[in-house]
Amino acid sequence: MRTVPLEIDEDLGRDMHRWASDLFHYPRSLSGPGVTATFEYLDQLFDNLTIHRVATGTQAFDWTVPDEWTLRDAYIENSAGERIVDFKQHNLHVVGYSEPVDTYLTLEDLQKHLYSLPDQPDAIPYVTSYYKRRWGFCLTDRQRKALVNDTYHVVVDADLGPGHISYGEVIIPGTEKSEVMLSTYICHPSMANNELSGPAVTAALIRWLQSETRRHTYRITFVPETIGSIIYLSQHASHLKKHLRAGFVLTCIGDDRTYSLMPSRRGDTLADRIALGCLKGAGLSYDHYSFLERGSDERQYCSPLIDLPFVSIMRSMYGKYPEYHTSLDDLNVISPQGLAGGFALMQKCLKTLEAFHTYKAAIPCEPQLGKRGLYPDLSIFGSAAEARRLTNVLAYADGNLDLIDLANTIEDDVLAVAEIAENLCGHNLLVRV
Amino acid sequence: MRTVPLEIDEDLGRDMHRWASDLFHYPRSLSGPGVTATFEYLDQLFDNLTIHRVATGTQAFDWTVPDEWTLRDAYIENSAGERIVDFKQHNLHVVGYSEPVDTYLTLEDLQKHLYSLPDQPDAIPYVTSYYKRRWGFCLTDRQRKALVNDTYHVVVDADLGPGHISYGEVIIPGTEKSEVMLSTYICHPSMANNELSGPAVTAALIRWLQSETRRHTYRITFVPETIGSIIYLSQHASHLKKHLRAGFVLTCIGDDRTYSLMPSRRGDTLADRIALGCLKGAGLSYDHYSFLERGSDERQYCSPLIDLPFVSIMRSMYGKYPEYHTSLDDLNVISPQGLAGGFALMQKCLKTLEAFHTYKAAIPCEPQLGKRGLYPDLSIFGSAAEARRLTNVLAYADGNLDLIDLANTIEDDVLAVAEIAENLCGHNLLVRV
Amino acid sequence: MRTVPLEIDEDLGRDMHRWASDLFHYPRSLSGPGVTATFEYLDQLFDNLTIHRVATGTQAFDWTVPDEWTLRDAYIENSAGERIVDFKQHNLHVVGYSEPVDTYLTLEDLQKHLYSLPDQPDAIPYVTSYYKRRWGFCLTDRQRKALVNDTYHVVVDADLGPGHISYGEVIIPGTEKSEVMLSTYICHPSMANNELSGPAVTAALIRWLQSETRRHTYRITFVPETIGSIIYLSQHASHLKKHLRAGFVLTCIGDDRTYSLMPSRRGDTLADRIALGCLKGAGLSYDHYSFLERGSDERQYCSPLIDLPFVSIMRSMYGKYPEYHTSLDDLNVISPQGLAGGFALMQKCLKTLEAFHTYKAAIPCEPQLGKRGLYPDLSIFGSAAEARRLTNVLAYADGNLDLIDLANTIEDDVLAVAEIAENLCGHNLLVRV
């Protein structure tokens, strides 16, 4: 197998890390001002971001769009008037979608509303209750163990009622009707790998995609996870079934520990083949998960009656790294290098989709490459080794193997094979079929 | 892989072992009074046993039904008048289908008619000569070596002439036209695992099948091996080709050493898939043989022009355990535990056939399980682990994977998956296709 | 797996080695007197060799037939008048297709025209320049290092101009329209395994094929490598696409170190299956190469728009043994035993092609073999072991498995299975389909 390492753009990596840093403290949730502010920030990074608002109560397949949640403040105060747990210190301190409360409780009663992780005593857990009304606070187990008997003043100053859920969408028209989709989410507050790596890498990909004309139409969405992708599919599934060639969920794509692949449910769609071809061609080692370990919006995109060709290329996958879904998933978990690696791999996938053709020999038997300067004119053992990649493309371009199959068969990198094939087309030795 | 251990019914195991013990000394063969007595015993255990008699000389495909053999007595007496080999001591002492004889022989001449096993000096071998007229005696090699020069009186008091071969049949009508067949044999005298385990487990399965209404029609046969299944197929092959979903040869299903699977010739019929799914789902280790090692009536059921979906689920397979085809295959080889394990696995196969459907999601995307009480209403890492089996069924119920494929894909037990799927059908989240 | 060792005919091996020895010193190239002399020798060995001449300038697909090269003499003389490199000492001393020259050079200028192998100091390399005009000499690196500063007289006395390229062809008509092709080459001067083993084994196969009537038509070609097979295909490709069942490139088939298989591009053609079946059935260990390592005329026969079922069965493959493409590939590299092994394997492949049928049972269920003397009439454990090969053929002859699939499935040798199947056809228990 001949591999071509990814090219890592460290400047771009630093840009992406800065965007993630800027967005880190915005109090995102399914809805509310943190989401709005996030969209405003993204709108500065690239063109043509459209925000779609969906009203509370709207049906989306089996789901009903929930209330909008506008949180102004949330804290626990002890009898000395000290805010011992304060949402303004860390977004994760309040359970997502907590209903309003303003009351005084004993420690015993308060405990029923507290969440901490005994196994990770310094981590604030990420907890939400979108579809069941309750309120609660999250704190480190160390904080919790230090609580003393007291009367606590508990305040969640929030509106939770009819309003809207929003998602962002960018369409980059191509020269063909075929579409490629990127989907990332903007609903997790103050987590870096499992949230901001997604929008940051997606924003960089949009900037690159918008820099020149593309063959495919690119459809990019920034949705609240689960409800957002279900809403989007309730509006676009039949169009996507007709036009989508490949889709990618972008999440957990910013740390520097590994690469990961979440396949589609079917496991053999074009998206899977592109992802595998690019991982192999780049010579990357990676964790190949089973769809049984799915956890993000591929759950919707690949669901039986939707059945779109979606995969997820990640660095360390959700649920598989220790900081996941806690306050420890902070800006130190992701890195410019990590983000740039994720970007480079995704960019390679998109380049491969742009270059995706099936080639067929134009001439029976081997062509006389020597007269075209493509083959050594002196024959001595070993002299033709360099021409081997080119003759391999010619030997297998039978009109049946598409670019991925061809690269797999001749054990060469997909993009390198595409370049050789296009060169041979220029010599009228191959044709696209 | 999530497994569900078999439930072992020890009381039933003791019942089956008692039936085997009762039947052990009946002098069974291809035909004759031992077979008749066996049918009379079985007729007490369950309903609707029909005995079919087929006359000597009848053609069944390439075969001609042989003579009937009625053995009254068989022994070798020394000159002192002592019966040194006596059929009444052990059925195996006489070669099956020995022709009548009453003569006096020297030891040297007698030897030509004796069979023993030098490698197993305490075992009487099982020998038959159904289609070539001869007579002979089987004895332990130790007995044989102790024979002295003498004049021996040899008697086989038997009728061997035109008559009948019989087989038993039980039909348990189901609500659908599809059929499932069980075939066991009743022609081996005084062997336990390689004979009586089959009728005993089959009788228990019939009692269970007759206890309530079933979806499939069950067709159960008790035949003399080879000639019996060939006769049966000569009468029923075209009907079976149309209606049979799966068939099982029941033999060697009573000891406690291992489980074994003899696949069908094709290896991928529904019978194979059911058997493999149940073995895997029960977490059993087992010996997976090749059809090249076939040895019982699957030779007929799976033959090229018959080609039925038949497998054999066994404990220790014929030819693979040391006591096979000798007097050592006695009631100590089988056990209540061993028989109950064989029963439980076969019962699981039949339950799986009853539950065999293909399911399809009724709703695009994941349904909102929380509002149906099927999903936790608070989201914290790990809280949804218990709901995973259910979401796995939903995620893969695409209308293409049947029950076995679905269970294999989601790495769960077949019957557990069937139960979850039926529950989801009750919530209108899945439909049978 | 039951195997049948190849039968090695040592007398024939000695004949083939003598033919190779006789041909060793003929100065073969793409064209010229060495090729003509080779054809004259081969014409004595078998019947019906036809020589086809193709004129310089003729187009064959992408190629133009090059000039004819008639070499009379070629040497390097030092100022003392000693021939220090002399084509008459070894054919390999002159670069193939060297243009005429007669000049005096310093050592420094001479060096630009010399070829040697520093890693193999005693080997003269094999160098050609068919399509680019140049001249040159090959010598051992040891010779080269011994050259002193001097004025050297360099002579290549040759004609290089319009003329012909020739190839030989033998057609052996069969009783059916199906064809089998053997292709070997006659363009390498003075190399044994990578040249003369091919014509020698091919000649022996022709003699055997011509000894009696065959089912298939056999088409055997002796071509200059690459340009010769391209010319042949430009004349015969459409006929071959219609009629060819299997083809074999014969090269490197004379040493005694291993067997090798170069598969077809597709890897699953009848030629591949025959070759694999014969290698396995003979119990041979062998090197199974990838088509990515292709190097001889399979490059043309298997090219995408030609796509014929061609493989190459070899002993040590080109490029994989140390003497390859040097003067060390001499008559000591090949041996009577090695040639006879190559012949025997190829002969087995051709016999298998002649015996290639698909069989189907003629009778439902197992036939009663005992009444035909094909099965023991006494049943005791182990007594039927010998009949197992025969019952295996019967059990799997379902009309879908061809001879190779059948042999693979029942783990028996292909030709042994063919013999059993024909025997069963004689008993009316099988039919060819």
For the stretch C153-164, pLDDT in tens is: 999 999 999 999
Taking contacts as CB-CB distances below 8 angstroms, the residues of chain C near A392 are 292
Mean pLDDT of C117-134: 97
The number of CA neighbours under 13 Å toward the Cβ of A162 is: 3
Mean pLDDT of B48-71: 98
Q: Tell me: pLDDT of C131 over 90.
A: yes
**Nearest chain A Cα distance for residue B66, angstroms:** 57
Sort strands C310-314 and C244-250 into parallel, antiparallel or unpaired: parallel
- Of the pLDDT bands very low, low, confident and very high (cuts 50, 70, 90), residue B381 is confident
CA torsion angle B24 B27 B28 B32 (round to 10) = -150
Choose among B370, B374, B423, B371: nearest CA to B397.
Answer: B423
Using CB atoms, list chains with 3+ pairs below 8 Å to chain C.
A, B
Predicted pLDDT of residue B386: 81
What mean pLDDT value characterizes chain A? Answer: 97
State both tokens at C238: 């459409």
Facing B129 at nearest CB: one of C377, C392, C411: C377
Cβ neighbour number for residue B44 with a 10 Å cutoff:
10
C395 and chain B in contact, CB less than 8 A: yes
C235 and chain A in contact, CB less than 8 A: no
Choose among B267, B307, B322: nearest CA to B289.
Answer: B267
- Of the pLDDT bands very low, low, confident and very high (cuts 50, 70, 90), residue C68 is very high
Predicted pLDDT of residue B385: 82
Predicted pLDDT of residue C205: 98
Cβ–Cβ gap C397/B304 under 8 Å: yes
Taking contacts as CB-CB distances below 8 angstroms, the residues of chain C near B325 are 380-381
- Of the pLDDT bands very low, low, confident and very high (cuts 50, 70, 90), residue B382 is confident
Choose among C235, C245, C71: nearest CA to C159.
Answer: C71
Mean pLDDT of C80-93: 97
Predicted pLDDT of residue A294: 97
State both tokens at C408: 């693979």
Predicted pLDDT of residue B185: 97
ipTM of the complex: 0.95
Q: Tell me: pLDDT of B181 over 90.
A: yes
Residue of B1, B2, B359, B365 for testing the chain A interface, max A β-carbons within 10 Å = B365
Predicted pLDDT of residue C87: 96
Condensed to tens digits (0 to 9), the pLDDT of residues B220-263 reads 999 999 999 999 999 999 999 999 999 999 999 999 999 999 99
Predicted pLDDT of residue A382: 84
Q: Tell me: pLDDT of A343 over 90.
A: yes
B372 and chain A in contact, CB less than 8 A: no
- Of the pLDDT bands very low, low, confident and very high (cuts 50, 70, 90), residue B152 is very high
Taking contacts as CB-CB distances below 8 angstroms, the residues of chain A near C62 are 363, 365-368
Sort strands B430-432 and C68-77 into parallel, antiparallel or unpaired: unpaired
Predicted pLDDT of residue C386: 81
**Nearest chain B Cα distance for residue A242, angstroms:** 16
Taking contacts as CB-CB distances below 8 angstroms, the residues of chain C near B189 are none
Condensed to tens digits (0 to 9), the pLDDT of residues A120-161 reads 999 999 999 999 999 999 999 999 999 999 999 999 999 999
Choose among B345, B359, B335, B350: nearest CA to B407.
Answer: B359
What mean pLDDT value characterizes chain B? Answer: 97
Mean pLDDT of C217-229: 98
Condensed to tens digits (0 to 9), the pLDDT of residues B109-140 reads 999 999 999 999 999 999 999 999 999 999 99
B379 and chain A in contact, CB less than 8 A: yes
Q: In sequence order, what are the residues at sequence separation of 6 or more whose Cβ sits closer than 8 angstroms to the Cβ of residue B110?
A: B76, B147, B152, B154
How far CA A135 is from CA of A108, A147, A355, B117, B153, in Å, comes to: 16, 19, 51, 82, 99
Mean pLDDT of C300-304: 98
Predicted pLDDT of residue B198: 98
Q: In sequence order, what are the residues at sequence separation of 6 or more whose Cβ sits closer than 8 angstroms to the Cβ of residue C299?
A: A366, A391, A395, C226
Q: Tell me: pLDDT of C303 over 90.
A: yes
Cβ–Cβ gap C398/B307 under 8 Å: yes
**For A405-414, B173-182, C382-391, which range has the lowest pLDDT when averaged over its residues?**
C382-391
Please tell me which residue of chain A has the smallest CA distance to C129: A378
Distance CA B75, CA B52 (A): 32
Using CB atoms, list chains with 3+ pairs below 8 Å to chain B.
A, C
C336-354 and C270-281 helices cross at what angle (nearest 10)? 120
**Nearest chain C Cα distance for residue A276, angstroms:** 21
Predicted pLDDT of residue C382: 84
Distance CA C378, CA C387 (A): 13
**Nearest chain B Cα distance for residue C423, angstroms:** 18
Q: Tell me: pLDDT of C384 over 90.
A: no
Q: Tell me: pLDDT of A346 over 90.
A: yes
C433 and chain B in contact, CB less than 8 A: no
Work out the percent of chain B whose per-residue pLDDT is above 70.
Answer: 100
Facing C363 at nearest CB: one of B62, B129, B307: B62
Distance CA B170, CA B199 (A): 12
Predicted pLDDT of residue A48: 98
Cβ–Cβ gap A304/B392 under 8 Å: no
Condensed to tens digits (0 to 9), the pLDDT of residues B184-222 reads 999 999 999 999 999 999 999 999 999 999 999 999 999
**For A85-99, A368-382, C26-40, which range has the lowest pLDDT when averaged over its residues?**
A368-382
Predicted pLDDT of residue A386: 81
Taking each continuous run of H as one helix and of E as one strand, the counts in chain C are 12, 19
Q: Tell me: pLDDT of A420 over 90.
A: yes
Work out the percent of chain A whose per-residue pLDDT is above 90.
Answer: 98
* Cβ pair B347, B206 in contact under 8 A: no
Q: Tell me: pLDDT of C309 over 90.
A: yes
Predicted pLDDT of residue B25: 96
Mean pLDDT of B282-308: 98
Sort strands C137-138 and C164-172 into parallel, antiparallel or unpaired: unpaired
Predicted pLDDT of residue B398: 97
